[in-house]
Amino acid sequence: MNTRNLAMTAVFAALMCLAGMALRWISPALVPFSILPLLVYLSGIILGARYGALAMFVYLILGLLGLPVLASAPFGGLGYVLKPTFGFLIGYIAAAYVTGLIYKPGSLWRAGLGVLAGIIVMYLIGLAYLYGILNWGLHKPSGIAAVLTIGFFPFIFDIIKGAIAVIVGNEVVKRVK
Cβ density class 41-79: b for 16+ within 10 Å, e for less:
bbbbbbbbbebbbbbbbbbbebbbeebebbbeeebbeee
- Nearest CA to 41 among 31, 23, 32, 53? 53
Count how many domains the chain has. Answer: 1
Weakest mean pLDDT among 128-132, 136-140, 167-171 = 136-140
Q: What is the pLDDT of residues 65-84, one digit of tens each?
A: 999 998 877 888 999 899 88
Provide the domain limits for residue 70. 3-176
CATH of the domain at 142: 1.10.1760.20
The pLDDT value recorded for residue 30 is 42
SS3 23: coil
CB 24, CB 69: distance < 8 Å? no
Q: Say if residue 28's pLDDT is above 60.
A: no
pTM: 0.90
Share of the chain above pLDDT 90, in %: 63
The pLDDT value recorded for residue 31 is 45
DSSP 8-state class, residue 134? I
42 phi/psi in degrees, rounded to 5: -65, -40
